[in-house]
Chain A
Amino acid sequence: MAVAAAAGAGGELRLLGTWSSPWVIRVRVALGLKGLSYEYLEEDLASKSDLLLRSNPVHGKVPVLLHGGRPVCESLVILEYADEAWPGVGPPLLPSDPYDRATARFWAAYVNDTFLPAFRALFRSLTEEQRAAAFENAVPKVEALDRALAECSKGKPFFGGDAVGLVDVALGSHLVWIRAVNEVAGTNLLDGARFPGLAAWAERFLAVDAVREVVPDAGKVLEQYKGFRAKWIAAAGSTSKST
């Protein structure tokens, strides 16, 4: 759409990422929403490129956005940068009112600092016990997000209101992984019966063009997740002395 806006304002865009990383998906969604074109470089995290190590020497992690050769690291930092470096290009991820901005930042931080660690425990759980405990711990965080959706959206489709915003991208980019974990664990973390608002929001988010274009295939994500679990189980098995 916004072909003319392709990487204006200071140079070319390159994105270092991995195909299934939800943090990379966040950035790809944001750039897609803004109609910004970029060169995407797939990293092999087992053998990181010099470019990645030079661009993110502190963490060596993806995503890294390179704008005119200058690196921006950390997905939420990149999202705010995208809003600020290309003002007026596509709908803003953050609202203009300072109080609403603070609310959006609060819930984006909640996703990162509170929801995702709880989700990660479920993601990493190997035994029934671990799974049950992790699920129980994660549910209140989903409840909080369900309430947040009602508060932030005020009856509109997204946390950001009429258009996808920061919180939508921060949380929505993890949906494909939440679904993969739900399938393997037999859990239902975004239970449509319990959280109809959030479940409906999830469908809407995944139907957005800029999202559909970059979210990886659910089957491939599931396969990758099963591969990880097989490794973890094997590692746990080889270090445990009893069954």
Chain B
Amino acid sequence: MASSGEEQAAAVRVIGGWASHYAIRAYVALRLKGVEYESLQEVVGNKSELLLRSNPVHKKIPVLLHRGKPVAESMIILQYIDEVWASDGAPAILPADPYARAVERFWAQYVDDKIAPASVVLRGVTNGDKDEAAAQVSTALQHLEAAFGKCSQGRSYFGGDDIGFLDIILGSYLGWLKAVEMIAGVKILDGSKLPELTAWAERFCAHHAVRDVMPETDRLVQFNTYLIGVLKAKASGNNK
């Protein structure tokens, strides 16, 4: 007979990858709520049957499987986790106030629109102008630096006293942003230009729900090289 912890973990599974900042969002949210989960690691370039069945539309990670039913898209997963595990004791991911929720959702969309595409260019994973990409990230972070003051209202996180939706959405990029600094040779989290975000970043990475799932910079740099190799091999394979 499975123990209740095992039963619970089997009830919640995440199809993801240790290096995927989108998957990291799901891990952090579940850890924040104290929900045990089974972590299924996808192999780059070789998608599992389970992933293809669970997210047939996009075939991407992360996918949350809760009682066997799939939830895809990291922002949607975060809100699902927030709504399912919403008892009195559990920390809230989105704030209660509708206006504050709208502000966090706005910035979350902004983060994904601006930082994700620029990051993959700076990593050399997709083609693009690296200077433009660096400028795009810089502008975005400057806006977020200003937003931090308004959202946090003097407290430690965008979400207030504890990490919330926007913290997780932006914070999940921190591993890759540090890796990009090494890969592309650009300074992204400059303490002199982004004092609030730089301090917040340290707090976020040290948070109990984050520290065990935030990958180390060196590992990400290695992974990036590996990923580029896989993509090149696939591309040249397709051209035969």
Contacts and interface: CB of A to CB of B under 8 A. Distances in A.
Interface in A137-170: 144
A110 B69 CA distance: 19
Contact of B80 (A81, A99, A109): A99
A138 to B, nearest CB: 15
Given A67-B99, A85-B98, A101 B106 contact: no
A74 B105 contact: yes
A74 B106 CA distance: 7
A78 interface: yes
A77 B76 contact: no
Which secondary structure characterizes the binding site on chain A?
helix
Given A77-B106, A77-B109, A109-B73, A101 B79 contact: yes
B1 interface: no
B71 interface: yes
Given A98-B84, A102-B71, A110 B76 contact: no
Interface in A76-110: 77-78, 80-81, 84-85, 98-99, 101-102, 105-106, 109-110
B101 A73 contact: no
A85 B103 CA distance: 13
B71 A81 contact: no
A48 interface: no
B118 interface: no
A70 interface: yes
A156 B9 CA distance: 36
Interface string A207-240: 0000000000000000000000000000000000
A220 B68 CA distance: 49
B105 A77 contact: yes
A211 B57 CA distance: 29
Given A77-B105, A110-B57, A105 B98 contact: no
Among B75, B83, B84, which residue has the most Cβ atoms of chain A within 10 A? B83
A80 B80 CA distance: 14
Contacts of B57: 106, 110, 144
Interface of B: 57, 66, 69, 71-73, 75-77, 79-80, 83-84, 98-99, 101-102, 105-106, 109-110, 143
Given A70-B99, A84-B101, 17 more contacts: A67-B99, A72-B102, A73-B106, A74-B105, A74-B106, A74-B109, A77-B102, A77-B105, A80-B105, A81-B98, A85-B99, A99-B69, A101-B79, A105-B76, A106-B73, A106-B76, A109-B73
23 contacts: A67-B99, A72-B99, A73-B106, A74-B106, A80-B105, A81-B98, A81-B99, A84-B101, A84-B102, A98-B83, A98-B84, A99-B66, A99-B69, A99-B71, A102-B77, A102-B80, A105-B73, A105-B79, A106-B72, A106-B76, A109-B73, A110-B57, A144-B57
